[in-house]
């Protein structure tokens, strides 16, 4: 029987966006360098995969194909909101991260799982959909729009989780922003993901009460394990 891939799970807590981005880049580069070395005939130990969980202080990020006009604030106004702004190297448009939002960064070598980015994105969405169902929140997809939506089949569809990734040589980085107890007011200063006619929501808003973010993290980790089929590597 083939051994399952191993994934190191880390909870980074509340961490500055750039600090977490730099850590992702470090793991991402190490995975790619290893693959290049293997193809050059070097004998190396099994590769490392990571699943990073965290929250960020208030920050707006925009993907490489995003429209900067979707940020409705000047740089001075962003600073007044005690927020930061970064142009980053993922796909997708603009989004917001902040306290109360669970951020998940998978740095995975998909050659250990499956080589299909479309399937990868659907698995990210499914992990969120399955987690929400355990709180009796029914969510789904909208065709042509990445992410997870509450009441996805209705005109009142509300986005509860945004996604944007980068991949190279089948190694992934960036990932999921999942609104748990998020201050949704910060979304009013952007056109979220470049979609002007849809609202955003959070678990707290849908349930009418704060949610234990650590419980959500534990549940979504189990969904990742079930969908991707891996073992957690002991640190």
Output the domain CATH number for residue 64: 3.30.930.10
Q: What is the mean pLDDT of residues 176-196?
A: 89
CA distance 203 to 211: 7
CA distance 89 to 24: 12
Q: How many Å separate Cα 27 from the centre of its chain?
A: 16
Measured CA angle at 99 (ends 93, 101), to 5 deg: 55
Residue 1 has pLDDT above 60, yes or no: no
| pLDDT for res 150 | 97
Residue 2 has pLDDT above 70, yes or no: no
Q: List the catalytic residue out of 127, 148, 193, 221.
A: 193
CA distance 90 to 97: 15
Greater pLDDT, 194 or 109: 109
Classify residue 183: in a domain, yes or no: yes
Classify residue 1: in a domain, yes or no: no
Residue 157 has pLDDT above 70, yes or no: yes
Classify residue 95: in a domain, yes or no: yes
Classify residue 74: in a domain, yes or no: yes
Residue 234 has pLDDT above 60, yes or no: yes
Query: Chain-wide mean pLDDT for the chain?
Result: 93
Q: What is the mean pLDDT of residues 127-147?
A: 96
| pLDDT for res 3 | 84
Q: Tell me the pLDDT band of 46, cut-offs 50, 70 and 90.
A: low
Classify residue 98: in a domain, yes or no: yes
Active-site annotation holds for 193: yes
Classify residue 221: in a domain, yes or no: yes
CA distance 188 to 214: 27
Q: What is the mean pLDDT of residues 2-17?
A: 93
For the chain, percent of residues with pLDDT exceeding 90? 80
The most confident of 85-89, 126-130, 230-234, by mean pLDDT:
126-130
- Which stretch of 29-33, 106-110, 207-211, 215-219 has the lowest confidence by average pLDDT? 29-33
Classify residue 195: in a domain, yes or no: yes
Could you tell me where the DSSP H helices lie in the chain?
17-39, 75-80, 117-133, 203-207, 213-224
If 0-12 CB within 10 Å is exposed, 13-18 middle and 19+ buried, where does residue 47 land? middle
Please give the tally of structural domains in the chain. Answer: 1
Residues 6+ apart with CB under 8 A from 86: 17, 18, 21, 59, 60, 61, 62
Q: What is the mean pLDDT of residues 32-41?
A: 85
| pLDDT for res 228 | 97
Q: What is the mean pLDDT of residues 214-229?
A: 97
- Which stretch of 96-100, 136-140, 196-200 has the lowest confidence by average pLDDT? 196-200
Q: What residue numbers bound the domain in which 37 lies?
A: 6-232
């Amino acid at each position: 029987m083939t051994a399952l891939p191993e994934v190191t799970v880390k909870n980074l807590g509340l961490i500055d966006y750039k600090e977490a981005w730099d850590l992702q880049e470090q793991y991402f580069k190490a995975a790619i360098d290893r693959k290049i070395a293997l193809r050059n005939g070097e004998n190396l130990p099994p590769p490392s995969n990571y699943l990073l969980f965290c929250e960020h202080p208030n920050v707006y990020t925009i993907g490489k194909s995003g429209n900067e006009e979707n940020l409705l604030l000047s740089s001075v106004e962003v600073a007044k909101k005690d927020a930061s702004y970064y142009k980053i190297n993922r796909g997708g448009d603009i989004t917001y991260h902040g306290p109360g939002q669970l951020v998940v960064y998978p740095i995975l070598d998909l050659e250990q799982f499956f080589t299909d980015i479309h399937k990868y994105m659907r698995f990210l969405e499914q992990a969120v959909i399955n987690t929400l169902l355990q709180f009796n929140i029914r969510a789904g997809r909208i065709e042509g729009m990445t992410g997870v939506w509450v009441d996805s089949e209705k005109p009142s569809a509300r986005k509860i989780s945004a996604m944007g990734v980068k991949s190279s040589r089948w190694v992934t980085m960036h990932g999921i922003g999942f609104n748990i107890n998020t201050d949704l007011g910060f979304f009013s200063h952007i056109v979220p993901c470049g979609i002007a006619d849809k609202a955003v929501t959070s678990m707290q808003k849908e349930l009418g009460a704060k949610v234990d973010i650590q419980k959500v993290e534990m549940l979504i980790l189990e969904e990742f394990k079930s969908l991707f089929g891996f073992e957690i590597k002991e640190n």
